[in-house]
Structure 1
Amino acid sequence: MTETPRVLSYLEALNEALRLEMEHDPSVVVFGEDNIGGTGCDGTLGHAWGPTRGLHVPFPGQIFDAPITEAAFVGAAVGAAATGLRPVADLLFVDFAGVCFDQILNQAAKLRYMVGGKAKVPLVIRSMWGTGMRRAAQHSQALYSLFTHIPGLKVVAPSNPVDAKGLLAASIQDDDPVIFFEHKLLYFGSRDVVPAERYTIPLGVANVVREGDDVTIVAIGRMVHEATKAAERLAAEGVRAEVIDPRTLSPFDFDTVYASVEKTSRLVVVDESNPRCSIATDIAGNVAEHRFSSLSAAVRTVTGPHAPVPFSGPLEDAYPPNADKIVDAVRSTLPSSVVSKAS
């Protein structure tokens, strides 16, 4: 009898990664806002909805709730990491990182450098990001570009449950601070067959999601799914798009992107964040600088607008990149003869 494959949601995969790492290493401690959840009507504790749900039962000494004081508990996490623990701090929404930015920018990112490598900061800061849940301007941003700019931090943005589990495990085991971005719409909207065992996916290694030789599409986080939809539509027009998921933004696997551009000669970068000083412009700039002779068309970027995320449903739906916008961008890089044949 064939065994039914084990399918997990993105949220469940993150929960399993946390459980396995806490089980393997008692120095892994998890805390932040709503990590356990308050007391319900039945008097029981533990009503957190997210990836930490239920972990207080097997690990009562390794997980706790923190007050809504990001500066305090992120600062405590930096200190805990520097003195031998492996804390995983949960900011909930990345928009709140501004409250504790000094602790991240000037302490976590620089401590190991300032003491000549004599201290480690094995800290993970988990955070939700992205549009799609009607959370408006202060709860919907894609701020990974801010953290990628800071030397000393590693930045991770998984797009699917398999990667989410392996990358979170690798982040917890890493000796440097990692900012771990989890797109809100992926928690329940992305499901996959996930290995049950403990495993890691190395930071700094991109994944070629779909192979092609006509155009390279690099997409971040949830945008990988939109890029894949666009690639499927383009395939019906005879255009073979290669889709690359960087998985980590710092360190960034430029070698995989460069090799793809050398093959396809065209690049489209899809990034939900705002366009100025973004991951999209960083990738585009590096390719233009280091692989200009390989390009047969200008690099195109598909991003959100340079504006806050609106609360209006129709406006929010129009805000992020989607498959239609990606297809249009790809077509703009192709020779007119190919585009006219497709249309």
Structure 2
Amino acid sequence: MLLWGPPSKFVSGSWDPKQENNEIRSIDDGRTADRLLNWINKQMGSSYGLDDEKYENEHLNTNISDPGQIARAVYDVEEATFTSFDIILGQKMIKLETRASLTKFLQLLVVHHPSRRCRKGTAEILVDFDDLLANKKEVAGLSQKGVLGNYQICGKEIPRGYWMFCRGSKNETRGFSCGLWVLLHSLSVRVDDGESHMAFTAVCDFIHSFFICEECRQHFYDMCSSVSTPFKKSREFVLWLWNAHNKVNERLMKEEASLGTGDPKFPKVIWPPKQLCPSCYRSQNSKDNHIDWDHDEVFKFLNNYYGKMLISLYKDKEHLRDGQTGGVVVEDLAVSTNAVVVPVGAALAIAVASCAFGALACYWRQQQKSRKPRRSWN
């Protein structure tokens, strides 16, 4: 028997076919693949076909000039956030020498993550994080999935188990690495000038401490180490990360060409391509492909692309389609505004003091601990 319904309704593990208004229904016409797909298309108002190949992403390669595609990446940012946390716990990577790096990155997420539910989930971890790491004996236990594994960093809907914007044409391409890059870019465009260098060090320390690929980790660390002067403007951090990403792409383009490991439908390119941002290009040498960038235009593009546009398709809708998100309220995808849900007094203090994200997160945690009973977000 095949059943149809929102993913969240299957969690309980029970189904009563006699219950009225049941959101889980039996699929009564699925004897062949064609009939099953026709039934699904009727429910979703879609037109999928059995010959479709990676339907969700196949148009990205041929229509790269469509900036609206990035709006779907907000779900991949959530998936990448969960996956990062899951890897850290699964690989037992929380140690005395790495916990400060994790704390700084969580503080960055709790204020500037583009998904509200990830900001809430991260904040819940931060509220108890210092207590959980109160003594050295507990650190080893925390690197298991036991204690911290009970926290839902992006809410109970995550993980979904699939990628949307970041889905590759092969299982081993794109996915997590793509989602992580989108997360980092989305963080960079949301920090204020006074936070820019702290955000830079938080990202660098996080990658250096927790990214599994040793070669990738060292390469990123070398790029971080090349920065000799602290960033004073968010623009500097945004453009540094953009340039670092392009350096990684250049290296991988050569590697994938020699080893044949790239994604044929999503080859590595220098970002952004001219189709997506023609004003970003002053000139391009046809012989060596050297690009003379207009950095003001690049900065403007990155701010719009990874900022407003990341969640723009869903701003005016009350709910997202069940087939895409399980009926998640759009507010959970609202753009970050340098503030989290805090008591009025804390919000006022934050506004007056214009705290950087580290101080803000720390202050917020203290306020939350003093509230009884502490509110649950799930």
**TM superposition score category, shorter chain reference:** under 0.3
Structure ranking higher on relative contact order (CA contacts 8 Å, 6+ apart): 2
Structure number with the higher strand fraction is 1
Structure number with the higher helix fraction is 2
TM-score (norm 2): 0.23
Larger Rg: 2
